[in-house]
Amino acid sequence: MEPPAPPSERTIVNAVLIAAVVGLKYLLPLLLIPFPFFAGWGNFVLDSVDGDLLIPLGLSDPVYQLIDKSADYVTYVGMVVAAWRWPVRRAVIAFFVLRTIGQALFFITGNEIVFFLFPNFLEPLFLVYATILFFKRGDAPAFFARHAVLIWVLVIAYKLQDEFITHVANVDRSELISRLFGG
């Protein structure tokens, strides 16, 4: 019996790229604490494209979903820690609890509809406040208070449509954007 063939160069490169992207998904949340603006937006971008990178590299969809959801939870914990002294701390904690219930139900049932029923308002609220804090510094709490109604409407509207498109309609955004631009 012949020994198994060594992995091809492409297989090794793909494995290294998968490890790098997955590593970033777990390391970026740690940077939320000292750098909420940059790490928050970097994590948002990575989370938006990671599936389009990892699955073509050979990661199976079920494995990707488990990695993605567990890395998301690490991100949520990092957001709570980073926001602990922010005036929106109570909302951040409440949204963390809401999404934790959704995460737990997803891991128990495997049904992604729970993400629409337990939306991730935490991430957009965190990104909005981190952005305000980055640009307004000490004036961030007053700025947020002056624009609270608009901010809450945008956070809720954005996230509800996002959860619906992603987890109820199951529309692949990359394919949708490609079709919109004639790809």
Give me the domain span that covers residue 104. Answer: 9-180
pLDDT in tens, the chain (183 residues): 777 767 788 899 999 999 999 999 999 999 999 999 999 999 999 999 999 999 999 999 999 999 999 999 999 999 999 999 999 999 999 999 999 999 999 999 999 999 999 999 999 999 999 999 999 999 999 999 999 999 999 999 999 999 999 999 988 877 777 788 886
**Residue 2 belongs to a domain:** no
Flag whether 103 is in a domain: yes
Query: How far apart are alpha carbons 154 and 41 in whole angstroms?
Result: 17
Q: Is residue 95 assigned to a domain?
A: yes
| Tokens encoding 26 | 């777990």
Least Cα distance to 150 among 128, 122, 121 occurs for: 128
For residues 40 and 78, the answer to whether their CB atoms sit within 8 Å is: no
pTM summary value: 0.90
> How many domains does the structure of the chain reveal?
1
Residue 52 forms part of a structural domain = yes
Q: Which two tokens stand for residue 15?
A: 């494995």
